[in-house]
Amino acid sequence: MAETKDVKDLKVIIGLEIHCQLNTKTKLFCSCSTDYRNDEPNTHVCPICLGLPGALPKLNKQAVYYALKVAKALNLEIPEYSEFSRKNYFYPDLPKGYQISQYDKPIAERGIMIIDDDEGHDKEIRITRIHLEEDPGRLVHKTSRDRVGYSLVDYNRSSIPLIEIVTEPDLSSPKEARRFLNKLRATLEYLDVFDGEKEGAIRVDANISLEGHKRVECKNISSYKGVEKALLFEITRQRNLIRRGQEIAQETRHFLEGRGITTGSRSKEEENDYRYFPEPDLKPLKVKDWVNDIELPELPDAKRERFIEQYNISLNHAKTLTGDIKVADFYELIAENEPVLSATWVADTLLGELYYRDMKIDSVPPENFTELVTLLKEKEITDRVAVDILRMTLDEIKEGKKPDLPSAIVKKLGLGKGSDNEFDEIIRNIIENNPQAIEDFHSGKSNALNFLVGQVMKETRGRADPKTLNNTIKEYIEKME
């Protein structure tokens, strides 16, 4: 069956296992603070999260509540009871010799998330299950000068609450996987149970196979881009093997972020028998009773529909604006004034400029942005000038300064839109100094006119109105014959 198909036409099958740190104040089974990132190693520890003999876990209810919130948001079925289990393995990141996790009675099972497929159509991705577990410690591997390796271990992270979200193998491309993760992250942030900006907040195991062949699992990828890259690499690697008539080994591979490749593990250490059994120190949870108290906020899909309805903006803009709760909140602060124009400028310009500068939207004062949109609406400035002002504003914020209001910048730098006759001399000069362009124009090359418009825009620092400039320049050329 598979042999008759061209290798490049084999379907790509992807399933993800996503570990997300929940942003509770304290750890899953003790009261150590989870806010460890700026502190020395092993300063947020106690007998429980160090796994000392005799220490008993005490369940953090907040974490259960957060996990249930996620389960409800992704439409999972909540069972009557949920139970913790011990997952036994020996590794220095886990001093107890077992991780408290969940096995056959997870918090929730069988849900759905809808994403865009590669054609932009809605696609349902089935969620297999969500379970709660504790994070192990963190190992730092070092090489000393005599090249003998050694490892340091930090238990600050030990017992931070995680949820593991497992999907069915419903994703069909690396881009889909990326979109799934983006939407999942957005949902978790809407729910306020997760902070995706924190280092180590999300770790993904990406499973991938080609139709009719064995699956490979790329473990512990720590960025969204990394997942996409690892999957792209795997598709090429697996296709090449199949082309050469070799079998794909079912194995665990590691993704090397820096080099963008995956490598096979030397040992078979992952092929563990975890000897799961119910955790005797924690009672089963009657989760069905908890879930009734959970109220969900407005989620991305609902917000998107409301934005379209309330502000009359396009589907694409609504998708972009609701793809991140901070962007959605910013938009709602400024939307009253010119909702459509504001949507365009946030979605099509502001986000790109922020991304380019590695800045976050909540650093932008809403009043500055509102004023910029007003100036545009009143046609006091051109689009070009607006982009320049936006860039100046963001650069100032980035340098830690308080940016001037756009109206003040316009005044100070004389950036107000001019009428074409104000630029009479500039237009004449440009026409006179570009005889080649005039000749091209006469021989019907439309680019020539664009070139002249561009020159005038440059000379006027973008103050001329490109919409009228086309005609004006045409008239000048005809007049000057």
Of 17 and 459, which has the nearer Cβ to ligand ATP?
17
Of 128 and 223, which has the nearer Cβ to Mg ion?
128
Among residues 13, 55, 59, 291, the one that binds ligand ATP under rule CB under 6 A: 13
Q: Which stretch binds Mg ion (CB under 5 A): 12-20, 362-370, 413-421, 453-461?
A: 12-20
Q: Do the strands 216-221 and 251-256 form a parallel or antiparallel pair, or are they unpaired?
A: parallel
Q: What is the phi/psi pair of residue 272, to 5°?
A: -95, 155
Per-residue mark of binding to ligand ATP, 113-152 (x: CB under 6 A): ----------------------------------------
Q: What is the phi/psi pair of residue 342, to 5°?
A: -65, -45
Using the CB atoms, write b or e for 270-298: b if 16+ within 10 Å. eeeeeeeeebeebeebebeebeeeeeeee
Of 1 and 148, which has the nearer Cβ to ligand ATP?
1
Residues that bind ligand ATP (rule: CB under 6 A) add up to a total of 15
Position with the least CB separation from ligand ATP: 15
The closest alpha carbon to 285, from 128, 65, 22, 18, belongs to 65
**How far is Cα 436 from Cα 456, in angstroms, rounded to an integer?**
16
What CA dihedral angle connects 334, 340, 345 and 348, to 10 degrees? 130
Q: Which stretch binds Mg ion (CB under 5 A): 11-19, 138-146, 191-199, 343-351?
A: 11-19
Q: What angle do CA 348, 351, 356 make, to 5 degrees?
A: 115
Decide which of ligand ATP, Mg ion, none touches 156; Cβ closer than 5 to 8 Å per partner kind: none
For residues 218 and 230, is the Cβ–Cβ distance under 8 A?
A: yes
Site for Mg ion in 171-230 (CB under 5 A): 205
> Cβ of residue 412: shortest distance to Mg ion, in angstroms?
59
Which residues, 6+ apart, have CB-to-CB distance to 275 below 8 Å? Answer: 86, 88
Is residue 251 within the footprint of Mg ion (CB under 5 A)? no
Is residue 403 within the footprint of ligand ATP (CB under 6 A)? no
Is residue 17 within the footprint of ligand ATP (CB under 6 A)? yes
Decide which of Mg ion, ligand ATP, none touches 168; Cβ closer than 5 to 8 Å per partner kind: ligand ATP
Of 76 and 469, which has the nearer Cβ to Mg ion?
76
> Cβ of residue 18: shortest distance to ligand ATP, in angstroms?
9
| Dihedral sign, Cα of residue 131, residue 135, residue 136, residue 142 | positive
Q: Which residues pair with 129 in a beta bridge?
A: 109, 166
Is residue 17 within the footprint of Mg ion (CB under 5 A)? yes
Is residue 45 within the footprint of ligand ATP (CB under 6 A)? no
- Provide the 3-class DSSP secondary structure of residue 58: coil
The closest alpha carbon to 275, from 85, 87, 92, 83, belongs to 87
Position with the least CB separation from Mg ion: 17
CB atoms within 10 A of CB 162: 26
The closest alpha carbon to 210, from 358, 367, 17, 12, belongs to 12
Is residue 167 within the footprint of ligand ATP (CB under 6 A)? yes
Q: Report the half-sphere exposure of 314 (CA within 13 A, side-chain side).
A: 11
Per-residue mark of binding to ligand ATP, 207-226 (x: CB under 6 A): xxx-----x-x---------
Q: Which stretch binds ligand ATP (CB under 6 A): 15-23, 78-86, 179-187, 361-369?
A: 15-23
For residues 114 and 302, is the Cβ–Cβ distance under 8 A?
A: no
> Cβ of residue 182: shortest distance to Mg ion, in angstroms?
21
Structure tokens at 474: 């045409």
Among residues 41, 79, 95, 169, the one that binds ligand ATP under rule CB under 6 A: 169
Q: Which stretch binds ligand ATP (CB under 6 A): 88-96, 161-169, 282-290, 423-431?
A: 161-169
Is residue 181 within the footprint of ligand ATP (CB under 6 A)? no
Decide which of ligand ATP, Mg ion, none touches 14; Cβ closer than 5 to 8 Å per partner kind: ligand ATP
Among residues 45, 63, 76, 166, the one that binds ligand ATP under rule CB under 6 A: 166
Which residue shows structure tokens 């901070």? 326
Q: Would you tell me which residues interact with ligand ATP (CB under 6 A)?
A: 13-17, 166-169, 205, 207-209, 215, 217
Q: Would you tell me which residues interact with Mg ion (CB under 5 A)?
A: 17, 205
